[in-house]
Structure 1
């Protein structure tokens, strides 16, 4: 089972603990493996995401100092937007002020809002929507600025050519420069393996690894995918 990391930015300790507890209960009820990490300030948040470089979703309190004009959550959103790997990562804003919503919706990758006070059932609905929308899918932008939703199960391999990555499925090939190979690997589950400097393969599609001629054969394509000489056996493709 793949573990998904959810990040919480909330300065109120009681609310932060409630949110974390409910998320853990959600994971048990839905049989989903979740790792919950949190911070109470923007400074601490930046340190936490450096230690957990593959975060699935962010829950951000827009106002970290209730009753003031502070917009720490939006400040942290700006920081996330500067990191290519997180530009399309879903953000769920937690706020007591409905008038904050327009700025976040217009500026950042806002998936949804939780308006305080919220209850456990409301959170579960948002987590269900998040799972339905993002788990098992990849969102990439092509050179014309059009976003494509690609099911991870449909990806056979990804090929790097110049500044672009080509996402190859049995039906289509989508070109995008949204992510580097390293950034993309951070977003993909463990069965996607970089077998060559220019290729990432979906090992669940593997048919054969030829270590004499240095190529992999995959279901859904007749192309032989090159294997780096540094890879000595098929065990490399099944590491956890």
Structure 2
């Protein structure tokens, strides 16, 4: 049984979020509260595995509550997900609290249930280990901001106004985010532009070969059947880095 604490001062939204979580499965015990003082009491009496915290409480701060929770040794790395309608609060939250993610109101049932099951699955220790010190980006997907670890990105492709980030854990589609912007956000030495519409992670390249027309190249990867194109302007750099990685030069 996993214990989840929901701190939300709007009683209707509190009940809505709690019911969504409860419908995820019978292994979740949900504790509900509308104020930080009661939330602290619950956290002291029970071992809470996951916190859902409204960051913008009417008479107090959900961010302050999370900062105080982090001072308790047993909650130093436990999952905290913020609930908000204001995106501008979130940069501060990520910097100060080490929260896992945040969700925007109105609630998306599938996203909440999915993230709850992920964080409270048998693989939560591995997720926690990867969380510490790993570089990540935050991208908007529908009504949720999703954290993607840079070292899990296989490649990125952009078509018109749609970007797709292919990772070892699946693909994520983002609207209105350019390749240039994504490249700037990722900012990793192993992820390079290989075409006007593609970024690739050198570590995941399996092979590079010419296509049937003999003038263009296709890139194949480990962990996915999908492929990327290699443009002439990027060929020398990408093939050079790939060969270096195969020979053991890249770390």
State TM-score, norm by structure 2: 0.48
**SS state at 2:106 partner:** coil
Structure 1's 146 and 59: CA in aligned 2 closer, same or farther, altered over 3 A?
A: closer
| Aligned: 1:57 with 2:82 | no
CA contact (8 A) 1:112 1:126 kept: no
- Equivalent in the alignment of 2:38: 44
- Equivalent in the alignment of 2:12: 14
Take 1:112 and 1:13, find their aligned partners in 2: how far apart are those partners? 22
Structure 1's 134 and 61: CA in aligned 2 closer, same or farther, altered over 3 A?
A: farther
Take 2:92 and 2:123, find their aligned partners in 1: how far apart are those partners? 23
Q: Which runs of 5+ in 1 are unaligned?
A: 148-240
Q: Name the Cα RMSD after superposition.
A: 2.4
**SS state at 1:78 partner:** helix
Q: State the number of aligned residues.
A: 133
**SS state at 1:7 partner:** strand
Match of 1:34 among 28, 32, 37: 28
Structure 1's 130 and 146: CA in aligned 2 closer, same or farther, altered over 3 A?
A: closer
Q: CA deviation at 1:39?
A: 1.3
**SS state at 2:77 partner:** coil
Q: Which runs of 5+ in 2 are unaligned?
A: 135-251
**SS state at 2:37 partner:** helix
Q: CA deviation at 1:51?
A: 1.7
State TM-score, norm by structure 1: 0.50
**SS state at 2:57 partner:** coil
**After superposition, where does 1:122-161 map in structure 2 within 5 Å?**
122-132=111-121, 135=124, 137=126, 139=128
Structure 1's 134 and 76: CA in aligned 2 closer, same or farther, altered over 3 A?
A: farther
Q: CA deviation at 1:48?
A: 1.3
Q: CA deviation at 1:125?
A: 2.4
Take 1:102 and 1:136, find their aligned partners in 2: how far apart are those partners? 25
Take 2:99 and 2:13, find their aligned partners in 1: how far apart are those partners? 21
4+ residue stretches of structure 1 with deviation over 6 A? none
**SS state at 1:26 partner:** coil
Take 1:35 and 1:60, find their aligned partners in 2: how far apart are those partners? 16
Take 2:81 and 2:19, find their aligned partners in 1: how far apart are those partners? 17
Match of 1:86 among 71, 75, 83: 75
Per-residue deviation, residues 148-182 of structure 1 (Å, max 9, x unmatched): xxxxxxxxxxxxxxxxxxxxxxxxxxxxxxxxxxx
CA contact (8 A) 1:77 1:108 kept: yes
Take 1:76 and 1:116, find their aligned partners in 2: how far apart are those partners? 20
Please tell me whether Structure 1 or Structure 2 has the larger radius of gyration of its CA atoms: 2
Per-residue deviation, residues 171-208 of structure 1 (Å, max 9, x unmatched): xxxxxxxxxxxxxxxxxxxxxxxxxxxxxxxxxxxxxx
CA contact (8 A) 2:5 2:51 kept: yes
